[in-house]
Amino acid sequence: VTIDGKSHPMKIGKFIRYYFPSIISDKEASEFSRLYNKIRKGEPVQLGSEIVVKKFAYNPKDVRSTFLSLVTKTYPHGHEDEVLQFLPSLQKDEVGNYYKIIGKNPQTMFTSHLDTADREQSVTKLYSMIENDEEYIVTDESTILGADDKSGVAVMLYMMSHNIPGLYYFFIGEERGGIGSNKLSRTYDTVSYLKDIKRCVSFDRRNYHSVITSQLGRRCCSDEFGTALCKEYNKNGLDLSLDPTGIYTDSASFIDDIRECTNISVGYFHEHTGQEYQNMNYLISLCEASIKVNWNSLPTTRKVGIDQEIVNKHKGLINDIKSSVFELEVKVIGDSGKVFVRVDLDDSDIESISDGLSSVKSLLMKYKMDPDVLFDGTYLKIELK
């Protein structure tokens, strides 16, 4: 490394631990150093032993065999129905997702998604690698593995097989912008079995340690909820902690509807690439811990919805926004007790952005408003006071 113009030798492990302390664990740093040094010396790095997946037999309590059956192929959006052969009998909602209710008036929605991140379906070639007494499932790198999110599917099937009360949702099109969950969120208030839901828990996060507290640049769950959830899992052998670096998964679609929304690490790495792998030991431990969590004891403290006083004050503007057609997605949202007009700039060309913002500006001028404006990721947020 070079510091103040002077070069200094530094061991790989020390470099990683010093510069990436919250990203790469000691275990991962040690494993990287070991493999790096083997390659430097010209020693072969074994891919592992090839897995011959047995004929499928429904047994969700066998986490490994369930997972392997789920990842023998990839399932791009449009192929989700092909996954149903590995699932129990489910109901299909009006927008194409699948769900099952266990228990009476469940308060927790559990989610995973059935699609994978590739464009064309592929048959996978699976291998098992054993390192430090832990098993990692990988491919020959010609395809993704699809642990994102068949790992989450496996967790939910395990929980369902143990009759853990909940609303279990298997979404379509998550890798194409949350198609299924977004459609459901638009009709959320009209779906009777959603009225008692207090918390939404997705199983769709890389690594081993995350309980996500922020998605899409917005707070998705309270620290009180997240901390309590970590404690429930950690007393059953895991090492979870609060993580505000979430990007997006299906639970983010319900931030304005459900008070506590989060995403939990399921032990995959390098998703969306041929180097994707799944720690099978961790996945099994997560499944076993998930059936021991006292879900209904978790606090629900985050506020959702929109401040009614501000809504009444800006009723004309809000109604105009709802009834207008924009080049961009423009929504009125509540976030941390504040009310915003949110403009989504993602995947838009310059002309669409210019026309969309001009339309929003015209409405603000109509109501003689000069509000605060801020950028939040791909969003422009206009605060109403």
Strands 166-171 and 108-113: parallel
Q: How far apart are CA 17 and CA 182, in angstroms?
A: 39
Contact 148, 271 (CB under 8 A): yes
Tokens of 6: 């002077």
Contact 150, 66 (CB under 8 A): no
Could you read off the pLDDT of 305-348 as tens digits, one per residue? 666 677 678 888 888 888 888 878 888 877 666 778 888 887 78
For residue 112, how many other CB atoms are within 10 A of its CB?
25
Residues in the chain: 385
Q: What SS3 state is found at 79?
A: coil
Q: What is the pLDDT of residue 337?
A: 63
Q: What is the pLDDT of residue 45?
A: 62
Find the mean pLDDT for residues 270-286.
95
Find the mean pLDDT for residues 197-207.
97
Q: What is the pLDDT of residue 41?
A: 80
Tokens of 160: 């369902």
Q: What is the average pLDDT score of the chain?
A: 90
Helices and strands in the chain: count of H runs, count of E runs: 10, 21
> 118: buried, middle or exposed (CB in 10 Å: 19+, 13-18, 0-12)?
middle
Could you read off the pLDDT of 65-103 as tens digits, one per residue? 999 999 999 999 999 999 999 999 999 999 999 999 999
Q: What SS3 state is found at 7?
A: strand
On the CB side of 153, CA atoms within 13 Å amount to 29
Could you read off the pLDDT of 133-145 as tens digits, one per residue? 899 999 988 999 9
3-state helix, strand, coil in the chain (%, to 5): 35, 25, 40
Q: Using a pLDDT cut of 70, give the percent of the chain over it.
A: 96
For residue 176, how many other CB atoms are within 10 A of its CB?
14
Q: What is the pLDDT of residue 208?
A: 96
Q: At a CB cut-off of 8 Å and minimum separation 6, what does 20 contact?
A: none
Could you read off the pLDDT of 209-242 as tens digits, one per residue? 999 999 988 899 999 999 999 999 999 999 999 9
Could you read off the pLDDT of 6-45 as tens digits, one per residue? 888 888 777 877 777 777 777 777 777 777 877 788 765 6
Could you read off the pLDDT of 104-153 as tens digits, one per residue? 999 999 999 999 999 999 999 999 999 888 999 999 889 999 999 999 99
Give the pTM: 0.75
Q: Name which of 262, 278, 268 is nearest 230 in CA terms.
A: 262
